[in-house]
């Protein structure tokens, strides 16, 4: 066997097809066994319809989330149902139970990726008392839901907060919605999220969406003046270069909107006091987009006037290689 006998039959590998079939059968049986517990708890389409048409509670809505996430077909089944989307918005506008609102927001986030759903949500939400009731429920999820528990407990699931921010980003396409969100305190809520979460990668998506939300409302005149509420701009400066490139670019856009576009002197002073000029210079030297670099340049001009105590103030900006990450 160990000799160099090229013509020997013993040196040719003959596939054991019977053994191979047995292995495939065993693997298939193992997959079925592992899938059986979840499949037994899965609900049918009719059961999903019954839940949508019935009285919502956290248990039934949790089953509905399981149904939606089980397959693309199930997700489309719920998303393309006008009755389902209408029902979700109606309950969200009327319910004061935080857990029910959280789960509905998660469902809306899941189905909002389907074509036409964002427009449908905008239409339904604005019909509901100009969107006030529904948007206030979104704000409640961010202010009183999983956010609070995550501030006191490390490693808390952030799915509800992330879903709430995602859904709000999906529907915040019109000025009335943005103005109402500002009135409801979205800037303060996101500011608490920024200050409450740590700098770990586990919360990166939440921070990115939070800063994207601030960028969205900062384009409103009301939002630009309110973005310094609750030390929000201070938290934005602290987050620069510490989360991701996406988060940093969102943050720069917000700071530019407040400090350069709105020319808010209070915000300018707060950014300067927390060494914002240095942070902006670091971003400027990083691998950021051209538009972000241009906004950084304008921020440097504005902040230099405020940074009278900074050693960087008397010097012109020079191209120096700084490794940002």
The string of pLDDT tens digits covering residues 62-81 is: 899 999 999 999 999 999 98
Say what the pLDDT of residue 133 is: 79
Instruction: Take residue 242 and report the two structure tokens written for it.
Output: 């510490």
pTM value > 0.75: no
The string of pLDDT tens digits covering residues 214-254 is 999 987 766 555 554 547 899 999 999 999 999 999 999 99
Contact 163, 109 (CB under 8 A): yes
Of all residues in the chain, the percent with pLDDT exceeding 70 is: 73
- Residues in Cβ contact with 159 at an 8 Å cutoff, skipping those fewer than 6 apart: 106, 146
The Cβ of residue 163 has, within 10 Å, a number of other Cβ atoms equal to 24
Alpha-carbon span 45 to 47, nearest angstrom: 5
Say what the pLDDT of residue 142 is: 79
Say what the pLDDT of residue 259 is: 93
Question: Model confidence at 312, in pLDDT bands (50, 70, 90)?
Answer: very low
Question: Model confidence at 207, in pLDDT bands (50, 70, 90)?
Answer: very high
The string of pLDDT tens digits covering residues 252-274 is 999 999 999 988 888 999 999 99
Say what the pLDDT of residue 23 is: 62
Say what the pLDDT of residue 40 is: 41
């Amino acid at each position: 066997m160990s000799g160099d006998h090229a013509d020997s039959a013993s040196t040719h590998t003959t596939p054991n097809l019977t053994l191979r079939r047995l292995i495939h059968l065993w693997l298939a049986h193992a997959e079925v066994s592992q899938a059986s517990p979840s499949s037994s708890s899965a609900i049918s389409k009719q059961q999903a319809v019954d839940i949508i048409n019935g009285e919502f509670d956290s248990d039934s809505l949790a089953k509905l989330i399981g149904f939606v996430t089980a397959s693309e077909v199930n997700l489309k089944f719920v998303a393309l149902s006008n009755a389902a989307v209408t029902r979700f918005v109606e309950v969200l506008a009327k319910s004061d139970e935080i857990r029910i609102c959280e789960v509905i927001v998660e469902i809306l986030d899941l189905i909002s990726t389907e074509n036409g759903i964002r427009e449908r949500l905008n239409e339904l939400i604005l019909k509901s008392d100009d969107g006030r009731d529904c948007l206030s429920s979104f704000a409640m999820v961010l202010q009183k839901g999983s956010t609070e528990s995550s501030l006191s407990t490390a490693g808390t699931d952030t799915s509800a907060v992330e879903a709430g921010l995602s859904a709000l980003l999906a529907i915040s396409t019109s000025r009335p919605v943005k103005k109402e969100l500002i009135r409801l305190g979205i800037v303060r809520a996101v500011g608490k999220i920024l200050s409450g979460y740590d700098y770990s990668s586990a919360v990166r998506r939440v921070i990115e969406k939070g800063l994207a939300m601030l960028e969205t409302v900062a384009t409103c005149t009301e939002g630009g003046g309110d973005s310094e509420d609750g030390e929000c701009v201070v938290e934005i400066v602290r987050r620069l270069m510490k989360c991701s490139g996406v988060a940093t670019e969102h943050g720069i856009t917000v700071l530019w909107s407040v400090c350069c576009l709105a020319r808010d002197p209070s915000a300018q002073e707060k950014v300067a006091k927390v060494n914002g000029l240095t942070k902006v210079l670091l971003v400027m030297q990083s691998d950021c987009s051209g538009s972000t670099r241009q906004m950084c340049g304008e921020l440097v001009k504005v902040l230099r006037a405020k940074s009278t105590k900074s050693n960087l103030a008397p010097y012109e900006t020079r191209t120096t290689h700084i490794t940002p990450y």
